Amino acid sequence: EASDEEWLLNGPVDKPTFLIARIDRADAYRANPNVEFLKEENGFVFFRRKPDYQKIAESLRKMEQ
């Protein structure tokens, strides 16, 4: 799952997720409400996504069924 970009951006991550994009490809990350901008440096843009524990709990409930 860690190599699946869609899961990293919108899935139930259980740890902070850090994303790095070239400055010319960062618009999709900037528009995502799950992702927090950290900094811009040397032509790269750095983002962080914090765990959403509510999504994790929902995902675990679905797996138990």
Residues 29-59: pLDDT tens digits?
999 999 999 999 999 999 999 988 887 788 7
Bin 35: left if φ > 0, else alpha if -120 < ψ < 50, else beta.
beta
Strand partners, 44: 22, 41
Q: Say what the pLDDT of residue 26 is.
A: 96
What is the pLDDT averaged over residues 14-39? 94
Is the pTM value of this prediction over 0.85?
A: no
Q: Give the sign of the dihedral formed by CA 26, CA 31, CA 33, CA 38.
A: positive
- Across the chain, mean pLDDT equals 90
